[in-house]
């Protein structure tokens, strides 16, 4: 018998990956598929008819029931669907919020991104390593058990065969006793069953045979637990030994095991003898190892996550700290510094950052001090100049008043002195005003005031000058009052400046003043039809000390700061002051103010470019926008009668009449 045993190493040799799966998984029989796959697979065809028989009992009321059941199924499924949908509706916003939060964190936090990436990578690499380890261990455990099982089987089968061969067959009971005793001995001694057996007579034996013993098995096992492939292999072969992974019931549970099959002959009858080896202990060992792997893996991943978090925090936190500090610096908190610890790269970053901040602070402070000193100097000079200037002015005026008693030379001198002191005083006043703006001490003293009344007042004040130039002034304003929150003193100054400028450069042509308001803003335009401005001139008209024509400016006087001060006054009101000019056609200045302080202007109620200008001169037209660029163009709320159609070209040689006193105006 011994010689007849043939080992079948192929299953695990050819299919090493499949074999170890057995002990680990529940589908152990697959391990045997290898070389015996071609073995017969009797399909249980009888099952189907049995089923129809069982159903045929209630065939009569079937259509009705089917319909009822269909309806019920429909209702139930609809309800389930609705439940699921409402559930999802509740859950979805939460999930979306969570996803968005995660996405934002992913985008915004380098640390989060690094930690998450590290975790995902380590989880996947650990899964690969764990699977490989687990696989290897399972494989080895199985191989070991299999080798043991095969050698033990060979020995035991030989024992059984020897006992059977030497047995004296006399009567039934002794035969039964002999067989049972022999087989029970196979189970091994002691309380633990080392191996189980299934002893079964080969079917379809024609030879005279032993009818006393048909089959026998340990516990409650039957031959059905033996895989069919194995049985077929055993039955078909001669005296070879085969094995297969299988499952067998012990108590209420199924256990993995290895069945090793042989043939034994007793008294001329061929029996199949299968010895079943329990893999439970191996499985337990494997489970334990896997548990250890799981626990170790989880611990390792948590540790890796923690380490990644710690390391990135160490690197990232100085960077984010630097970001916070630089934001504060940018916001003007110049004393902000980074915390510097150690001597590493991060510390170097911090140190150089602090160095940069310090030098920045120093320079800014120096600049601020310088500019403050300069402004203070200008202011002090202006103040200190005022007292002697007052004396000079009074003296000049006394002389001027008495000029008729002087000879012509002294008289003219007194006049010149008087006029130039006036001019000097005006310049000084403007300088002081500008220095106040530069120092940032100009305060807005806003109060609700009727701007139409203010405009009328300004026009009244300018009436003598208008008469002097021979210009007519027209006012185009809405009925009633237009109350604006403004500093009347400053707005008065701006408008007076604009009106006097318009008269001065108007060459005796009419000056049109318009007032209009919309929901958020009020606008005043001052339009003249005089010499106008070129685009380049209009662009510079608000610059300090700028003059369109230096030669001309001498005679008309003014400090050259009037429009600069007007610009500053407008800025203080968060308004717009804009100029439009066209050489020979005239110019238009527009002041737009928010109705309430703190309000914003979306659109000026009046057009900057006058409607009475012929469009073809597009090349010559120029628009200078100060402050917020607006999207004007549509005359909103424009008052009934627009400025008269007066686009005459200024006649050559038409010189504005001389003015006696121009000192107050710029």
Total residues interacting with another protein, rule: CB under 8 A: 31
Other Cβ atoms within 10 Å of 233 Cβ, number: 21
In the complex, the smallest distance separating the C-beta of residue 391 from another protein, rounded to whole angstroms, is: 5
Helices (H) and strands (E) in the chain, counts: 16, 13
* Contact set for another protein, span 541-580 (CB under 8 A): none
Tokens of 363: 């320079």
In whole angstroms, give the CA distance from residue 423 to residue 425.
Answer: 5
Work out the widest C-alpha separation in the chain, in whole angstroms: 179
* Contact set for another protein, span 407-436 (CB under 8 A): 425, 428, 432, 436
Query: Should residue 463 be labelled a site residue for another protein when binding is judged by CB under 8 A?
Result: no
Span from 311-319, 366-374, 395-403, 524-532 in contact with another protein (CB under 8 A): 395-403
Q: Binder to another protein among 127, 370, 398, 463 (CB under 8 A)?
A: 398
Span from 120-128, 196-204, 244-252, 440-448 in contact with another protein (CB under 8 A): 440-448
Query: Should residue 498 be labelled a site residue for another protein when binding is judged by CB under 8 A?
Result: no
Q: Binder to another protein among 150, 430, 492, 504 (CB under 8 A)?
A: 492
Question: x/- binding map, residues 102-141, to another protein, per CB under 8 A?
Answer: ----------------------------------------
Q: Binder to another protein among 483, 539, 623, 625 (CB under 8 A)?
A: 483
How is residue 611 annotated by DSSP? T
Residues 6+ apart with CB under 8 A from 225: 198, 246, 247, 248, 249, 259, 276
CA distances from 327 to 314, 317, 345, 508 (A): 21, 15, 21, 57
CA distances from 494 to 457, 525, 571, 576, 584 (A): 13, 12, 12, 12, 24
Query: Should residue 505 be labelled a site residue for another protein when binding is judged by CB under 8 A?
Result: no
Span from 87-95, 231-239, 310-318, 385-393 in contact with another protein (CB under 8 A): 385-393
In the complex, the smallest distance separating the C-beta of residue 389 from another protein, rounded to whole angstroms, is: 5
Span from 296-304, 450-458, 518-526, 536-544 in contact with another protein (CB under 8 A): 450-458
In the complex, the smallest distance separating the C-beta of residue 577 from another protein, rounded to whole angstroms, is: 22
Q: Which is nearer to another protein, 392 or 623 (CB)?
A: 392
Three-class secondary structure of residue 112 per DSSP:
helix
Span from 135-143, 383-391, 557-565, 616-624 in contact with another protein (CB under 8 A): 383-391
Nearest to 560 by CA among 449, 650, 429: 429
Kindly give the pairing relationship between strand 521-528 and strand 586-594. antiparallel
Cβ atoms of residues 50 and 243 within 8 Å: no
Query: Should residue 372 be labelled a site residue for another protein when binding is judged by CB under 8 A?
Result: no
In the complex, the smallest distance separating the C-beta of residue 434 from another protein, rounded to whole angstroms, is: 14
Query: Should residue 445 be labelled a site residue for another protein when binding is judged by CB under 8 A?
Result: yes
Query: Should residue 468 be labelled a site residue for another protein when binding is judged by CB under 8 A?
Result: no
Span from 103-111, 247-255, 314-322, 443-451 in contact with another protein (CB under 8 A): 443-451
Which residues are paired to 197 by β-bridges? 275
* Strand blocks (E) in 434-583: 447-450, 473-476, 483-486, 511-517, 521-528, 576-582
Cβ atoms of residues 248 and 225 within 8 Å: yes
Query: Should residue 388 be labelled a site residue for another protein when binding is judged by CB under 8 A?
Result: yes
In whole angstroms, give the CA distance from residue 439 to residue 382.
Answer: 14
Query: Should residue 488 be labelled a site residue for another protein when binding is judged by CB under 8 A?
Result: yes
Alpha helices in 439-530 (DSSP H): 451-469, 488-504
Query: Should residue 348 be labelled a site residue for another protein when binding is judged by CB under 8 A?
Result: no
In the complex, the smallest distance separating the C-beta of residue 348 from another protein, rounded to whole angstroms, is: 50
In whole angstroms, give the CA distance from residue 286 to residue 375.
Answer: 87
CA distances from 228 to 42, 367, 413 (A): 9, 98, 139
In the complex, the smallest distance separating the C-beta of residue 663 from another protein, rounded to whole angstroms, is: 11
In whole angstroms, give the CA distance from residue 520 to residue 334.
Answer: 38
Q: Binder to another protein among 30, 457, 540, 544 (CB under 8 A)?
A: 457
In the complex, the smallest distance separating the C-beta of residue 408 from another protein, rounded to whole angstroms, is: 24
**Which H or E run contains 273?**
strand 269-278
Q: Binder to another protein among 56, 481, 555, 600 (CB under 8 A)?
A: 481
Query: Should residue 450 be labelled a site residue for another protein when binding is judged by CB under 8 A?
Result: yes
Residues 6+ apart with CB under 8 A from 535: 581, 620, 621, 622
Do you know the residue count of the chain?
666
Query: Should residue 448 be labelled a site residue for another protein when binding is judged by CB under 8 A?
Result: yes
Q: Which is nearer to another protein, 77 or 390 (CB)?
A: 390
Other Cβ atoms within 10 Å of 356 Cβ, number: 12
Residues 6+ apart with CB under 8 A from 133: 293
CA distances from 43 to 47, 228, 234, 246 (A): 10, 11, 20, 19
Q: Which is nearer to another protein, 406 or 424 (CB)?
A: 424
Nearest to 594 by CA among 450, 434, 486, 477: 486
Site of tokens 């400053």: 490
In the complex, the smallest distance separating the C-beta of residue 449 from another protein, rounded to whole angstroms, is: 6
Query: Should residue 449 be labelled a site residue for another protein when binding is judged by CB under 8 A?
Result: yes
How is residue 344 annotated by DSSP? S
Span from 15-23, 64-72, 238-246, 379-387 in contact with another protein (CB under 8 A): 379-387
Q: Binder to another protein among 36, 145, 195, 393 (CB under 8 A)?
A: 393
How far, rounded to the nearest angstrom, does the alpha carbon of residue 127 sit from its chain's CA centroid? 31
In the complex, the smallest distance separating the C-beta of residue 425 from another protein, rounded to whole angstroms, is: 5
Query: Should residue 395 be labelled a site residue for another protein when binding is judged by CB under 8 A?
Result: yes
Query: Should residue 397 be labelled a site residue for another protein when binding is judged by CB under 8 A?
Result: yes
Q: Which is nearer to another protein, 78 or 395 (CB)?
A: 395
Which residues form the interface with another protein (CB under 8 A)?
Answer: 383, 386-395, 397-398, 425, 428, 432, 436, 441, 443, 445, 448-450, 453, 457, 461, 481, 483, 488-489, 492
């Amino acid at each position: 018998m011994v010689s007849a045993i043939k080992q079948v190493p192929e299953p695990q040799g050819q299919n090493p990956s499949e074999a170890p799966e057995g002990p680990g998984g529940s589908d152990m029989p697959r391990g045997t598929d290898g070389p015996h796959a071609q073995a017969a697979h009797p399909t249980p065809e009888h099952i189907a008819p049995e089923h129809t028989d069982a159903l045929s009992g209630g065939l009569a009321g079937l259509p009705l029931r089917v319909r009822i059941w269909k309806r019920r199924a429909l209702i139930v499924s609809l309800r389930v669907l609705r439940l699921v949908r409402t559930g999802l509706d509740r859950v979805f916003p939460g999930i979306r919020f969570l996803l968005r939060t995660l996405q934002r964190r992913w985008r915004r936090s380098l640390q989060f991104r690094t930690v998450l990436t590290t975790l995902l990578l380590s989880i996947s690499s650990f899964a690969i390593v764990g699977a490989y380890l687990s696989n290897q261990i399972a494989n080895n455990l199985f191989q070991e058990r299999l080798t043991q099982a095969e050698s033990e089987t060979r020995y035991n089968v030989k024992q059984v065969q020897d006992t059977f061969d030497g047995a004296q067959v006399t009567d039934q009971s002794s035969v039964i006793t002999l067989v049972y005793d022999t087989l029970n001995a196979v189970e091994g001694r002691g309380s633990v069953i080392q191996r189980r057996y299934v002893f079964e007579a080969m079917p379809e034996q024609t030879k005279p045979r032993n009818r006393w013993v048909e089959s026998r098995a340990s516990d409650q096992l039957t031959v059905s637990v033996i895989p069919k492939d194995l049985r077929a292999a055993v039955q078909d072969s001669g005296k070879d030994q085969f094995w297969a992974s299988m499952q067998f019931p012990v108590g209420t549970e199924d256990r993995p095991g290895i069945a090793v099959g042989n043939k034994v002959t007793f008294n001329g009858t061929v029996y199949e003898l299968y010895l079943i080896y329990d893999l439970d202990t191996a499985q337990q060992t494997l489970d334990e190892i896997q548990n250890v792997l799981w626990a170790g893996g989880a611990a390792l991943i948590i540790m890796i996550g923690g380490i990644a978090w710690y390391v990135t925090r160490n690197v990232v936190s100085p960077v984010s700290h630097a970001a916070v500090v630089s934001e504060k610096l940018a916001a003007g908190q110049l004393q902000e510094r980074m915390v510097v610890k150690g001597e590493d790269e991060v510390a170097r970053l911090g140190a150089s950052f602090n160095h940069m901040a310090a030098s920045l602070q120093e320079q800014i402070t120096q600049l601020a001090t310088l500019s403050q000193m300069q402004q203070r100097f200008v202011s002090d000079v202006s103040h200190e100049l005022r007292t002697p200037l007052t004396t000079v002015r009074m003296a000049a005026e006394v002389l001027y008043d008495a000029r008729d008693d002087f000879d012509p030379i002294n008289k003219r001198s007194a006049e010149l002195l008087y006029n130039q002191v006036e001019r000097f005083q005006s310049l000084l006043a403007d300088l002081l005003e500008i220095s106040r703006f530069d120092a940032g001490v100009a305060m807005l003293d806003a109060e609700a005031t009727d701007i139409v009344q203010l405009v009328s007042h300004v026009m009244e004040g300018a009436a003598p000058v208008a008469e002097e130039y021979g210009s007519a002034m027209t006012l185009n304003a809405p009925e009633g009052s237009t109350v604006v929150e403004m500093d009347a003193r400053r707005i008065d100054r701006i408008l007076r400046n604009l009106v006097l400028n318009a008269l001065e450069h108007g060459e005796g042509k009419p000056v049109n003043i318009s007032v209009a308001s919309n929901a958020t803003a009020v606008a005043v335009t001052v339009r003249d039809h005089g010499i106008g401005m070129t685009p380049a001139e209009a662009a510079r008209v608000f610059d300090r000390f700028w003059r369109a024509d230096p030669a001309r400016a001498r005679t008309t006087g003014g400090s050259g700061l009037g429009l600069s001060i007007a610009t500053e006054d407008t800025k203080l009101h968060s308004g717009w002051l804009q100029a439009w000019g066209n050489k020979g056609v005239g110019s238009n200045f527009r002041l737009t103010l928010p109705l309430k302080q703190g309000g914003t202007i979306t659109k000026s109620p009046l057009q900057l470019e006058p409607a009475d200008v012929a469009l073809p001169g597009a090349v010559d037209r120029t628009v200078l926008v100060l402050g917020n660029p607006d999207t004007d163009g549509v005359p909103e709320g424009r008052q009934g009668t627009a400025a008269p159609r007066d686009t005459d070209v200024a006649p050559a040689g038409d010189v504005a009449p001389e003015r006696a006193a121009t000192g107050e105006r710029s």
